[in-house]
Structure 1
Amino acid sequence: MPNPTRAFLLGPLLKGVSRSFYLTLRVLPARMRDPIGLAYLLARAADTIADTPLIPPDQRLALLLALRHQVNGVADDSALFQRIAAEVAGQQAQSDEKLLLESLSPALDVLQQLSESDRRAVRAIVTTLTEGMEFDLRTFPDERSAQLVALPEYDELDRYTYLVAGCVGEFWTAMTYAHLPGTLKERPDTMTHRGVRFGKALQMTNVLRDCGKDLRIGRCYLPQSMLDRHGLSARDLLQPANSMRARPLLVELVRDTLDHFRAARDYTLAIPASAVRLRLGCLWPILIGLDTLLLLVDNDAWLDPARVSKVTRNAVYRIIASSLLLVPSNALVRHAIDKRIRRIEARL
């Protein structure tokens, strides 16, 4: 008999809070949807807690850590969900976000209904993602403090992109081997490495696209060591007029990001052409990510939060429509990705 609570959480609620990811999720093979969808819901709830600026960072961190313990089954704090509903849910402007926070208890009931292996994998990915959120809360100042902190070194940025996105490629790969055995012919360690870089490609794109906005809440993910090398400070980046002065730094980071996208391309091409749904689930974020980078390198005011480089909804729909013709062919998939990479490199 169908479970209506599970159907609601992994259907209408997931659609309401996941935006474009829901498109990717719906195209995945059915066996992968529930664990990936539930992991997304739990991580999204944790992220909403971590990103609610009207609550002091130490209070957010305490709730985040308590939720992590609850997900991992190492604590049974029946009052936690009431605290989250009372302290965080009421602060949400989006009704879907509020409903998600109020639905955490049934979401953890669904977690218990998963197979042991899926439950273990979901707990692991949520733990790692919340470590990325914890990193933000411990590293950067209160958004209302008017302070600004840059990550010290590139290694911190690389580690951060693993915690908040690279680990998702790892999880996605594990789910594929578990639920679609025999589909991937490459060695698991090869695909896992590519999957991690796939996630890093997407997160680096987000970091560069959202730089202007993040700076205004005190977060500079562009490393201080790189800023020093280019004769810049984090506060220099607060001035949109310095966008061209900071372009050499942007170029260096875009080149690194394109190397990650090449690994994402190889990951996608290692999926058999017959696994159309799985291929589409990889191809869409690659094409959208590369089109975002193209907008970014063409944006002379990339540090201006009012001029963010964002692919339009109509452009996303065009990518989805055109990809249906590309996906059965290795040559066409490679051409679509490499053409975008070449166009970006030509502008650097």
Structure 2
Amino acid sequence: MNPSPRAFLLGPLLKRVSRSFYLTLRVLPPGMRDPIGLAYLLARAADTIADTSLVAPERRLALLLSLRAQVNGEPDDGALSRIESEVAGQQAQPDERTLLESLGAALAILRETNAADRAAVRDIVTTLTTGMEFDLRTFPDETSEQVVALQRFDELDRYTYLVAGCVGEFWTKMTYAHSPAKLKAAPDAMLARGVRFGQALQMTNVLRDCARDLRIGRCYLPGDMLARHGLTPTDLLDSSASAGARPVLADLLRTTLALYRDALDYTFAIPASAVRLRLACLWPIMIGLETLVLLARNDAWLDPARVSKVRRNDVYRIMAASLPLVASNRLVRAWASRRMGAIEAELNAATPR
């Protein structure tokens, strides 16, 4: 018997398109899984539209905005068929194509969701698509051979909120809605920490993916930071640029470590007995800090052939290592202190005396 559209979307398809995030979803309390999984599917579909380079940027933007309108309940009978005909067929990955072809079913599930969760999903998808819109409006066509940089750190800070910090905020709202006893700190404090938690993960992505992004014209390293070290965005394309840009990497790594400290405080505000929710927080922190260790040790971090990425086998190793730590703040702090210390040691060793 074939599964229902809901069971298929929030089961097999979600697993195939979310990969490691699906493992995190599986350990969440049951009431949180469906709204977070649905939000992920809608955001992933939007991201696929925004990233399909075979479609002109201005057309991607129009389709992205039409999907956002659909999520927010605005009627447009042709919107989904246009997305399917113009974008779905361009996907090399069959699961991405299936997701775009299943948007009607996903929106039907959203309409059936209770009012509070529906409003929260609409809010997070609206914010995330605003970040995607920012990309499409700010950066050139991927084939233009131009590189455009964000100008100031506050632009990077806002961007990381739009594409990830808001996810920490949404996650926190879902926790208070479905497992209110699982957070020990005041809501305002947890929401702020949740934002910085998401920003920590996105800053990690920005630094890890910098070489690849530069080659499609996107420089998220702020131009004023580069200028302080005599660099321009195009300088970073040179194969020997990693050493010269090392001070910029060091500054941003230290900024990111501060964000991870808030992410740890977020995790410590979850009771030790809430193992599932703690694991859902601890896994991305551990994988993120391991990624930062690789970046700090990578003397060719701007070489697209030398990406600092945690391997799948290491992800499973990290997940296994988390199990004896998760219920103890002391053990988690000790683990995080060792990884952060390793990063600082690399940065200090590379700092001229």
- The offset of 1:196, in angstroms, is 0.4
- The offset of 1:240, in angstroms, is 2.3
1:112 counterpart residue number? 111
- The offset of 1:210, in angstroms, is 0.4
1:158 counterpart residue number? 157
1:66 counterpart residue number? 66
Amino acid at match of 1:205: T
- The offset of 1:295, in angstroms, is 0.4
Amino acid at match of 1:76: P
2:167 counterpart residue number? 168
2:18 counterpart residue number? 18
Q: Structure 2: how far apart are the matches of 1:336 and 1:111?
A: 40
Amino acid at match of 2:50: A
Residue pairs, 1:210-229, within 5 angstroms: 210-229=209-228
Residue pairs, 1:125-140, within 5 angstroms: 125-140=124-139
Q: Structure 1: how far apart are the matches of 2:316 and 2:239?
A: 31
The answer as to whether partners of 1:284 and 1:320 remain within 8 angstroms in 2 is yes
- The offset of 1:222, in angstroms, is 0.4
Q: Structure 1: how far apart are the matches of 2:96 and 2:137?
A: 24
- The offset of 1:80, in angstroms, is 1.1
Residue pairs, 1:242-321, within 5 angstroms: 242-321=241-320
Amino acid at match of 1:322: A
Residue 38 in structure 1 maps to residue 38 in structure 2 = yes
Count of residues in correspondence between the two structures? 346
Residue pairs, 1:72-151, within 5 angstroms: 72-73=72-73, 75-151=74-150
Residue pairs, 1:225-236, within 5 angstroms: 225-236=224-235
Deviations 1:175-207 (A, max 9, x none): 000000222120000001100000000000000
Cα RMSD for the two superposed structures:
1.0
Deviations 1:39-65 (A, max 9, x none): 000000000000000100000000000
Deviations 1:219-247 (A, max 9, x none): 00001110111110101100121101110
Q: Structure 1: how far apart are the matches of 2:184 and 2:206?
A: 33
Structure 2 residue ranges without an equivalent (≥5): 348-353
Amino acid at match of 2:281: C
Residue 207 in structure 1 maps to residue 213 in structure 2 = no
Q: Structure 2: how far apart are the matches of 1:308 and 1:9?
A: 32
The answer as to whether partners of 1:214 and 1:220 remain within 8 angstroms in 2 is yes
Amino acid at match of 1:70: Q
The answer as to whether partners of 1:24 and 1:280 remain within 8 angstroms in 2 is yes
Amino acid at match of 2:125: V
2:350 counterpart residue number? none
Q: Structure 1: how far apart are the matches of 2:333 and 2:177?
A: 27
Amino acid at match of 1:59: R
Structure 1 outlier segments of 4+, above 3 Å:
none
Residue pairs, 1:39-54, within 5 angstroms: 39-54=39-54
Query: SS where residue 240 of structure 2 aligns?
Result: helix
1:193 counterpart residue number? 192
- The offset of 1:3, in angstroms, is 7.6
Q: Structure 1: how far apart are the matches of 2:271 and 2:184?
A: 8
The answer as to whether partners of 1:268 and 1:279 remain within 8 angstroms in 2 is yes
Amino acid at match of 1:245: G
Residue 6 in structure 1 maps to residue 28 in structure 2 = no
Q: Structure 1: how far apart are the matches of 2:127 and 2:273?
A: 32
Query: SS where residue 306 of structure 1 aligns?
Result: coil
Percent same amino acid at aligned positions?
Answer: 71
- The offset of 1:76, in angstroms, is 1.1
Q: Structure 2: how far apart are the matches of 1:270 and 1:340?
A: 21
- The offset of 1:33, in angstroms, is 0.2
Query: SS where residue 163 of structure 1 aligns?
Result: helix
More displaced stretch, 322-331 vs 167-176: 322-331
Structure 1 residue ranges without an equivalent (≥5): none
- The offset of 1:343, in angstroms, is 1.0
The answer as to whether partners of 1:240 and 1:302 remain within 8 angstroms in 2 is no
Q: Structure 2: how far apart are the matches of 1:336 and 1:102?
A: 43
The answer as to whether partners of 1:14 and 1:41 remain within 8 angstroms in 2 is yes
